Amino acid sequence: MGVEILTSFDKMLSEKESKVVFRDGEETRAIRGIIINEDSFFITIQRRDGFLRLNKSQILKIEEWNNNNKVGSDEHEQI
């Protein structure tokens, strides 16, 4: 039996995590993290390994997760 130690980021991640599906050249990729900033052109996502800034025109779908359960989806149109 192991002991699970949650950092404050892990706790925040489990409460506010989003799955972002996006185009990376010819490939479709998906990442999970916390959306910390959004403007007219970009979304910034915080992950354990750093930050990622994505152009909204590359994003295909955003799914919001809460305690590992999908709670909503937002489809983004390509511009």
Q: What is the pLDDT of residue 12?
A: 56
Q: What is the pLDDT of residue 48?
A: 85
CA distance 71 to 23: 23
Number of domains in the chain: 1
Identity (one letter) of the amino acid at 19? K
Residue 66 counted as domain residue: yes
- Domain containing residue 17: 8-75
Threshold 0.75, pTM exceeds:
no
Q: What is the pLDDT of residue 68?
A: 53
CATH of the domain at 20: 2.30.30.520
Residue 63 counted as domain residue: yes
pLDDT along the chain (79 residues), means of 10: 55 74 96 93 92 96 74 51
Give the E-state strand segments of 1-79 in sequence order: 18-24, 27-38, 42-47, 50-55, 59-66, 69-75
Residue 51 counted as domain residue: yes
Residue 2 counted as domain residue: no
CA-to-CA dists, residue 1 to 4, 14, 18, 29, 32, angstroms: 10, 22, 30, 35, 28
Q: What is the pLDDT of residue 79?
A: 39
